[in-house]
Amino acid sequence: MTTISNVRAKPAKRYSGLSRGARIVRSLTFIIPMAIMLLLVFISIFAPLIAPYNPTEQHMLERRLPPAFMEGGTTKYFFGTDHMGRDILSRMIYGGRVSLSVSLLAIMITAGIGTVMGIASGFIGGRTDGFLMRLTDVAMSFPALLIAMLLSVGVGPGFWTVVFALSILGWAGYSRMIRGEALRLRNSDFVMQARVNGVSNMGIMFKHIFPNVVNTLIIIMTLQIGMMILAESALSYLGIGIPAPTPSWGSMVSDGRNDLDRAWWISTFPGIAIGLVVLSGNFLGDWIRDKTDPRLRRL
């Protein structure tokens, strides 16, 4: 009997070790992305205090200086300088502020429009649902980045042009997801009780249904942070986003594309920043979804 119990105890230890390892990995998928996003917010708010130089200040005699950790580099310019002698680190700090501002504004606009349309469509139903969902289908059938490019070219590059361009079709994904949640909730007991108590449709939608779709809304918004920054960077890379000399990560990548063979750092560092933020937004959104979904929480 002792031998059998000992044999059975070993797999339990192994599985408990694996579960502890899985918990550590899950915690890291939250801690590291959250730290990166908080760092981005911090440097965006305090950019004038953190940046060592004016991001548009040119030093033509110090063009294409390598980073401080390379031969020929100097601690004066830790990430080196670009083809016009501007400090890469300072431009990345200010570029993060621009990219985050565009992303958050576009997300707030698209989330607001999509949430209102999704709740109204799912709760009211009938012809209202049919009309709003066909409108959503039309919006989702157009390539959003192409429409944003056409709008930026037609109106002219600028901060608010980019925000509007990213918002014009971005609400459709929110509308589709929130509508599904509203359909699930409209026949719930608490909604029926509100109807019996004489609460208006508007009151039910925004006092009873909206609080119950906030978790889904937060997940979508978190996932959209990286995507919006990526879209803004793509527009700026193509020269139809944030106009020069205002720095943005996309325009910085574009500035260095012709110097990759002799000054790779001009494009590489802002490109790494874009990748880290996009991955952090995706991991953070997945973590929030796992924590708020009871079915995934049991896995």
CA distance 201 to 195: 8
Cα radius of gyration rounded to whole Å, the chain: 25
Q: Are 220 and 111 in contact (CB under 8 A)?
A: yes
CA distance 63 to 54: 15
Long-range contact list for 107-111, CB < 8 A, 24+ apart?
107/170, 107/221, 107/224, 107/225, 107/228, 109/163, 109/167, 109/170, 109/171, 110/166, 110/167, 110/170, 110/171, 110/173, 110/174, 110/224, 111/171, 111/174, 111/217, 111/220, 111/221, 111/224
Query: What tokens were used for 250?
Result: 């996309």
CA distance 201 to 198: 9
CA distance 193 to 181: 19
Q: At 77, phi and psi to the nearest 5?
A: -125, 95
Query: Would you call 57 helix, strand, or coil by DSSP?
Result: coil
Walk me through the domains of the chain, giving residue ranges and CATH numbers: 46-297 (1.10.3720.10)
Whether the predicted model's global pTM rises above the 0.85 cut? no
pLDDT in tens, 216-245: 888 888 888 888 888 888 888 777 778 878
Query: Would you call 46 helix, strand, or coil by DSSP?
Result: coil
CA distance 118 to 133: 9
Positive or negative, the CA dihedral 117, 181, 279, 144 is negative
C-alpha distances (whole Å) from 61 to each of 82, 83, 264 are 11, 10, 19
Positive or negative, the CA dihedral 251, 92, 266, 278 is negative
pLDDT in tens, 20-72: 666 666 666 778 888 888 898 898 889 888 989 888 888 888 888 889 888 88
CA distance 214 to 217: 5
**Residue pLDDT tens, the chain, 299 long:** 444 444 454 444 444 555 666 666 666 677 888 888 889 889 888 988 898 988 888 888 888 888 988 888 888 888 988 888 899 999 999 988 888 888 889 999 999 999 999 999 888 888 888 898 888 888 888 877 777 778 777 777 788 888 888 888 788 889 988 988 888 888 888 888 888 888 888 888 888 888 888 888 888 888 888 888 888 888 887 777 788 788 888 888 888 888 888 888 888 999 899 888 888 888 887 787 777 665 545 44
